[in-house]
Homo-oligomer: A and B are copies of this chain.
Amino acid sequence: MKPKVSAKDVARHVGVSVATVSNVINNVNKKVSEETRQRVLKAIEELHYQPDFTARSLAKGKSNLLGVLLPITQAGDDESLLLKDNPFYAELLSGIEFEAGQRGYDVIITGIRPEQSLKDWVRKRNMDGVIFLGITPEPFLNELKALHIPVVLMDSHPKQGDCHSIGHDDFLAGKLACQYLMARGHQVIGFLSGGIQTSPVNLKRYEGYQEALKEAGLTSRPNLVLEDSVSFEGGYRMGLRIAQEYEKSRKGESVTALFCAADIVAFGAIKALREKRIKVPEEISVVGFDNLKTCDYLIPGLTTVDQGIYHKGVLAAGILVDDIEGKLEACRHIQLPVRIVERDSVCPPREK
């Protein structure tokens, strides 16, 4: 176990002080003569010196660590990261990691666990900033603000206060999806999502969906607006209920299309419909939301609302680092554009 080489070793090797070594590393090129600078650099190379971030963190009060907070499965379960159940988080995390790496930061992840104080997690590692994925519990957020650490909220209500937020115009997106369906002749359109009142994102999408119907002189049917958990299983359960509605409805009055506020929900719903022998898209068309890679895997491919997940992750990390490094004046509230990605889960309605 050879002891790791420290700045002191480098200093001794060159015949200068540790301060000089430190200056070479930090002060881009001020304060140190070009000659000694080169000698120090050479020694660093030769000795394979690598500054210790732990010590540096302590001295500078800056860790170059970005905390990413991931939602976990609802209680009752084994309490694992939702990361494993919804590809959405993996894509996002991937984008975050990429940008963070580019800018010299490391990413550390954890689940948003209720019992444990999140603030402590952030404090004990002196994290420079954190990114919340998914819904952020209000109390945690307040804890964080007290720490005066840059925070980026993904997909939450824009008005969450003095943190950055990045999402999209969910109202518009919901409207867009619904209009897409109507443009293809659908009039009876169901809406499937997670809790509408508990999630501003779902609410906005719901309102957009409602608005689109209204503008077209249509109304939504309460029994076609379903809420359950944002998961495959939730989607499956809702799909089953839709299947029931479909079966018992009369000719010309049945659902012909579904707008699901998350791809993962659409996956579950489609599975349920198909098990009930209802054809997608021939009998019921489906539009999802997210544009996960998985949409391509399904047959038929899922037509959905793209929100550039990966890029969103990149952006989030970028903003966070910008703020950390003092390059930002005020809080940024970004609304990313969305667009419909057409695949094969939508077709014109057919008489029952």
Q: Please, which residues of chain B bring their CB within 8 A of the CB of A54?
A: 54, 57-58, 63, 125-126
Decide if A79 is an interface residue (CB 8 Å cutoff). Answer: yes
Rounded to whole Å, the gap between the CB of A45 and the closest CB of chain B is 12
Q: Please, which residues of chain B bring their CB within 8 A of the CB of A113?
A: 101
Mark the stretch among A13-21, A35-43, A102-110, A213-221 that contacts chain B. A102-110
Rounded to whole Å, the gap between the CB of A90 and the closest CB of chain B is 4
Mark the stretch among A251-259, A293-301, A326-334 that contacts chain B. A293-301
Report which of B89, B109, B121, B299 forms a contact with A109, defined as CB distance below 8 A. Answer: B109
Mark the stretch among A131-139, A160-168, A266-274 that contacts chain B. A266-274
A94-B80, A109-B107 known; A4-B270 Cβ under 8 A: no
Q: Please, which residues of chain B bring their CB within 8 A of the CB of A169?
A: none
User: Which positions in A face B, CB cutoff 8 Å?
Assistant: 1, 4, 50-55, 57-58, 63, 65, 78-81, 83-85, 87, 89-91, 93-95, 97-98, 101, 106-111, 113, 120-121, 123-126, 148, 232, 267-268, 270-271, 274, 293-294, 296-299, 310
Q: Please, which residues of chain B bring their CB within 8 A of the CB of A83?
A: 90, 93-94, 97
Give A166 to B78 CA distance when docked, in angstroms: 22
A50 close to B124 (CB less than 8 A): yes
Give A84 to B97 CA distance when docked, in angstroms: 11
Rounded to whole Å, the gap between the CB of A251 and the closest CB of chain B is 27
Q: Please, which residues of chain B bring their CB within 8 A of the CB of A58?
A: 52, 54-55, 58
B97 close to A109 (CB less than 8 A): yes
A271 close to B294 (CB less than 8 A): no
Q: Please, which residues of chain B bring their CB within 8 A of the CB of A148?
A: 1
Q: Please, which residues of chain B bring their CB within 8 A of the CB of A310?
A: 80, 84
- Most chain B CB within a 10 A radius of its CB, from A51, A52, A148: A52
Residue in chain B with minimal CB distance to A78 = B98
Q: Please, which residues of chain B bring their CB within 8 A of the CB of A120?
A: 50
